[in-house]
Amino acid sequence: MDGSGKMGETNAASTATLSRRSMRNIALLAICQALTQSSNTLMFASSALAVLTIVSPDMRMWANLPVTMQHLGVMLSVFPASMLMMRRGRRFGFRSGSVGGMIGASCAAIGLGMGSFPVMCLGGLFLGYGIANMQLYRFAAVELAPSQFRAQAISYVTAGGVIAGILGPAMARFTPDLWLPVFQASFVAVIVVHVLVFTVMGFIEFPAVRPEDNSGPQRPLLEIVTQPAYMVACAGAMIAFGVMSFVMAASPLAIVMCGLDKTEAPVTIFVHVMGMFLPAFFTGSLISRFGIFNVMVAGIALLVLGVVVALTGITEWHFRAALGLNGVGWNFLFVGATTLLTTTYRPAERGKAQAFNDFMVFGTTASASLMASIVLEVKGWAVLNYVALVLVLVALALIAVYRLRHPARA
């Protein structure tokens, strides 16, 4: 009996140690998420306004092109980044992403100093590689936690964006005027952030790459991505990120066009980013309690409400409320879609399944960010929001059809 009791105590201690280790690794990954997302937020808030300082008036509609190139960089990088991690491990892959972020921010700073729009766009491509790796943090979180805590692990790492919601807008508010040219210090701050992420990654205990992880049974990619659940998850993530990017990329320019001071842009972005990431502390619990699809539908309802608010006025509080609701809606829809996606592939298939999803997501965001400034310049803020509304309703229709055809799964 004594021996049995000691064995039970040993097993309990082992389980507790494993739990603490998982939480430590997830917490460090959340810190990396916070830092990388803060630099991404800083780029969103500053890039278009920085471009306006070096381009002629007839080029204003292309002010978001560096951000679009960043999304294009993400789209082109997700497959190489995911495959590299399958072979060399998460730490090596994530650190290579940090190096890409350093190079991209350096190009942006140098391009601004030279007054070279093409060099700034090149910087966006390299930054895209860094962001492509950041988007894989949520999948790495699943590997750092027991399977029953999958949704919570994704949610907790996503919640690292709360710090980004404070740090990113703060840097966007205080770095632009540190020295001339205006906004160059903002891009230098992004370099520093990626150096910090590179360092923190060294302390995370990622699972070692095992030959059997890549040699198990695999279905063709077409068979994986044509599963109804995969298609709903991928479409939900595409629309969540596409609508969020479409509205967020246009908002700094819209704020200035509507006669508000440019210092309002970081404040609105702060509210938006807090809306994106603050709910992540409990989104996983909501999914566990109410189900993936109910949380995704709640996200759609909030995105619609954000559009309604945006269409009722152009004061600073209309912008803040609309972007805040947009952020919370994104969180519910995107975390729900990501959780659903992780149920659709086998361990050996995760690299290509995750990469294809993010390829589609950031192909959408690349188009959305490019179209944002064009639609805003040609048609205005109201039309832009009507376009966002149509996309959100498409997501609602897809979920509704899936739930009707697969009532047991739903």
Tens digits of per-residue pLDDT, 95-113? 999 999 999 999 999 998 8
The answer to whether the CB of 72 falls within 8 A of the CB of 366 is yes
Distance CA 269, CA 204 (A): 30
- Please indicate whether residue 6 or residue 331 has the higher confidence score (pLDDT): 331
Distance CA 71, CA 74 (A): 5
The model's pLDDT over 52-78, given as tens digits with 9 standing for 90+, comes to 888 777 777 777 788 778 878 888 888
The model's pLDDT over 216-240, given as tens digits with 9 standing for 90+, comes to 678 898 999 999 999 999 999 999 9
Q: Where are the alpha helices (DSSP H) in 261-349?
A: 264-277, 280-290, 292-311, 316-341
The mean pLDDT value for 238-259 works out to 86
Mean pLDDT score of the chain, rounded to an integer? 83
The answer to whether residue 196 scores a pLDDT higher than 90 is: yes
Which string of DSSP letters, residue by residue, matches 153-191? HHHHHHTTHHHHHHHHHHHHHHSTTSSSSTTHHHHHHHH
The answer to whether residue 16 scores a pLDDT higher than 60 is: no
The answer to whether the CB of 187 falls within 8 A of the CB of 109 is yes
Provide the pLDDT confidence category of residue 392 given band limits of 50, 70 and 90. Answer: very high
Tokens matching residue 335: 């975390």
The answer to whether residue 410 scores a pLDDT higher than 60 is: no
Residue 211 has a pLDDT of: 64
The mean pLDDT value for 386-397 works out to 92
* Residue count (the chain): 410
Tokens matching residue 17: 């140690």
Residue 48 to residues 240, 281, 343, Cα–Cα distance (Å): 22, 31, 38
- CATH node for 20-205+218-405: 1.20.1250.20
Distance CA 266, CA 252 (A): 8
The mean pLDDT value for 137-149 works out to 78
The answer to whether the CB of 34 falls within 8 A of the CB of 167 is yes
Which string of DSSP letters, residue by residue, matches 112-140? HHHT-HHHHHHHHHHHHHHHHHHTTHHHH
The percent of residues in the chain predicted with pLDDT above 70, rounded, is 92
The model's pLDDT over 348-370, given as tens digits with 9 standing for 90+, comes to 888 888 889 888 887 887 788 77
Residue 397 has a pLDDT of: 92
Coil, strand or helix: which one is 291? Answer: coil
Provide the pLDDT confidence category of residue 409 given band limits of 50, 70 and 90. Answer: low
Tokens matching residue 252: 């700094």
